[in-house]
Structure 1
Amino acid sequence: MPEAWNTYLAERAATRRHAGRWRQRRTRRLSDGCRDFAGNDYLGLAGDPRLADAQAEGARRYGAGGRASHLVSGHLEVHEELEQRLAALTGRPAALLFSTGYMANLGALQALCDPDTRLFQDRLNHASLLDGARLAGARSRRFHHADLGDLERLLTRAPAEGRRLVVSDGVFSMDGDVADIAGLAAAARRHGAWLMVDDAHGLGVLGEAGDGCVGRAHGIDAVPVLVGTLGKALGSAGAFVAGSEALVEHLTQFARPYVYTTAQPPGVAAATLKALQLLEAEPERRSRLAMLIARFRREATTLGLPLAASTTPIQPLVLGESQRVMAWAAWLAERGIMVGAIREPTVPRGQARLRITLSAAHTDNELDALLDALADCKARETLAGAEASP
């Protein structure tokens, strides 16, 4: 490697380490007994043996891989069935599969927007939405988080010519709060804009039947572009965009991350079909999750923990400083509990947090262990502060 590249890599690494932002992967072994409160397996389906059986059967029937892109020879009947089921779940005429949620957002924005498009995004939108806007080269403005007044101001001041697209997460991945879909839709409608919502963390959890915070409650006229992921509540992998037949056909023709990618492995599609079946057949998973969320919030409040205003499985504890977050995460790890330690630049400076996520698969004893460990973190911090005082 030329020396200039060695120097570049070393300088970038040193800068990130010095800022306290160095990320490290953890190899998780199922035999280590660690309690996972960091993942997004909200309904506990990822470890369900029925999904594993469906995936294995799909692989035996169709092969381990997709072999080619959807537009060549990789689109199989199992993919077609899954797209139809996802369209029905969300109350849309059509849906289009993507290999990941990141690709779905990149593909949708790249295909829909160009430098003449005016894009309005919530300031806390997921990185894939921000990157999609850059890829499209659209004129992008970001409104204050969940601030419909600020969105209205930006829409009013924008020139009238050209297409407009308002974009928001459905459930915000670091805060757990839910977007005001009706308010966003009304603002977009007043200004002749479309609304695109990424419901990655709402699908399977929210709504009357797990159809998300958009789903059938907010039809295609309110939210013309709906994105959902399959690797969170549904426990498999991949993503989709749902909308009108014209929208899906447009993405099929022009979304580069769709056109130039090998189709999703058919076994994964088969596993997702099984997950959708269980979502409908076992509503007690969602009831169990709601009970755990309510109990965690009630007891965390009693402990005086810094809860955010979230009623979803994402329950962040905003501790402020990165060093404090890392200390609490290390203390929890000592107790065999894994949580997300989220720091800048993923969240703004001074907003570092423990990102705790709940799953219907968590037992009462596991939730007890989490709450006891968090109480211990608070006590240890208090003790350390007392010892440091003169």
Structure 2
Amino acid sequence: MAHSIYRIPDRQILIDGEPHLYFGGTAYLGLQAYFPFQDLYLKNVLKYGMHYGASRKSNVSLEIYGKAENYLAEWVGSEDCLTMSSGYLAAQLVVQTLLEKGHTILAAPNAHKALCSNGVIVTSCFEELEKLVSKELTQNNPMPVVLFDTIDFSGQQYPDFKSLTKLPLDKVILIGDDSHGMGIVGENGSGCYRMLKSLKPAKLMVCCSLGKALAIQAGAIFGDKDAIQKLESTAFYGGASPASPSFMGTLLDAKALFSERLQTLKTNYRYFKSQLKNPSFFNHMEGHPSFEFQNIQIATSLKNDGFIFTNFNYPDDNGPIVSRIVLSAYHEKDDIRRLANSLNSHLK
């Protein structure tokens, strides 16, 4: 059942007038309603305004974009970076550019719909992906491209990326969507770029939304300078309005907050795991604050105990009901203790 609420969800939300503890969504660092973060954003609104209504390729440009992109590239460990107004547009810029250049693009199982546009071949299993990559390498075509979610919630990718290591990566372009990794996994929350780079693919680009963990309404693409410059030269990039400069300024000003909230999230994660008596019940990736399961009875019992979490048919209305418990930096220790106690009582 969908619940309509009147404000951005935090650790507690009202459902039919009754308070419930909220363990859903993707606000991993709990920043959207965090006053110190809001204060930084409002200061940047006064400095930069709400929106920059011009192309990034215009003859007049705001320097904050370059500063933000340099910071992101250094943080993530890439040579270069560009930003767009959303993670969806960032993904589409990469995919459409490669399609226009004649590359065959294969989407791994569980790849996000933002990546799987018309022209992309969606595979149903990793064995099919391996076969299609091998077949493509026998053709006299541009290098094949493999799209995937770094955090795909099935455990097939992060943290070991075992499915990717079965591919001839030195002959493949990898495009990862790191929307659920950026800000929370990797060194100081830098995401998966360095991990993927260590696999030595022929070419690597990573795109992501900055709006999940970091609460920055924008998307980013990471790669080498040549790849980023080619994306910047496209009409797609030039014709799209940029992200709000206020968010770019907030991204720079919130560096200390990101680190602080990440440490709080890690503390919450460790405490939750220490309280669980049956962790194997969940589909879980070590180090990621999400715990997925498919059990309607348990989901109903948790709802009756006063907990709201991500719970919907996936990937469409005909799919099974998938439940996902998500920990955030806004949760308090008692919230987590209560959730663990409820789970332990129902999983006996």
The TM-score, its normalising length taken from structure 2, stands at: 0.83
1:293 maps to 2:273: no
Encode CA deviations 1:162-191: one digit per residue, 9 max, x unaligned: 22101111111576962644762672434x
Q: Tell me by how many angstroms 1:326 deviates.
A: 6.8
Q: Tell me by how many angstroms 1:298 deviates.
A: 4.4
Alignment check: 8 A CA contact 2:197 2:204 kept: no
1:64 maps to 2:50: yes
Cα 1:29–1:60 shift into 2, 3 Å: closer
Q: Could you tell me which of 41, 51, 57 is aligned with 2:37?
A: 51
The one-letter amino acid of 1:238's match is A
Q: Distance in 2 between matches of 1:107 and 1:220?
A: 24
Answer with 192-201 or 41-50: which moved more.
41-50
1:355 maps to 2:334: no
1:365 maps to 2:334: yes
Which protein shows a greater Rg?
Answer: 1
Q: Distance in 2 between matches of 1:259 and 1:328?
A: 51
- The SS at the match of 2:72 is helix
Q: Which residue of 2 aligns with 1:36?
A: 22
Q: Which residue of 1 aligns with 2:292?
A: 316
Q: Which residue of 1 aligns with 2:96?
A: 110
Alignment check: 8 A CA contact 2:105 2:146 kept: yes
Alignment check: 8 A CA contact 1:63 1:266 kept: yes
Q: Normalized per residue, which structure has more helix?
A: 1
Percent identity between the aligned chains?
Answer: 22
Q: Distance in 2 between matches of 1:273 and 1:304?
A: 37
Q: Which residue of 1 aligns with 2:312?
A: 342
Alignment check: 8 A CA contact 1:110 1:255 kept: no
Q: Tell me by how many angstroms 1:215 deviates.
A: 3.1
The one-letter amino acid of 2:97's match is A
The TM-score, its normalising length taken from structure 1, stands at: 0.75
Alignment check: 8 A CA contact 2:312 2:323 kept: yes
Q: Distance in 1 between matches of 2:301 and 2:249?
A: 40
What is the alpha-carbon root mean square deviation over aligned residues? 3.2
Structure 2: runs of 5+ lacking an equivalent: none
Aligned length: 337
Q: Distance in 2 between matches of 1:368 and 1:177?
A: 30
Cα 1:206–1:225 shift into 2, 3 Å: same
Q: Which residue of 2 aligns with 1:154?
A: 132
Q: Which residue of 2 aligns with 1:142?
A: 123
Alignment check: 8 A CA contact 2:157 2:163 kept: no
Encode CA deviations 1:322-353: one digit per residue, 9 max, x unaligned: xx577456425xx2x32111213349844x22
Correspondence list, 1:110-129, <5 A:
110-114=96-100, 116-129=102-115
Structure 1: runs of 5+ lacking an equivalent: 1-21, 383-390
Encode CA deviations 1:291-324: one digit per residue, 9 max, x unaligned: 4334334434x258831132211111221x6xx5
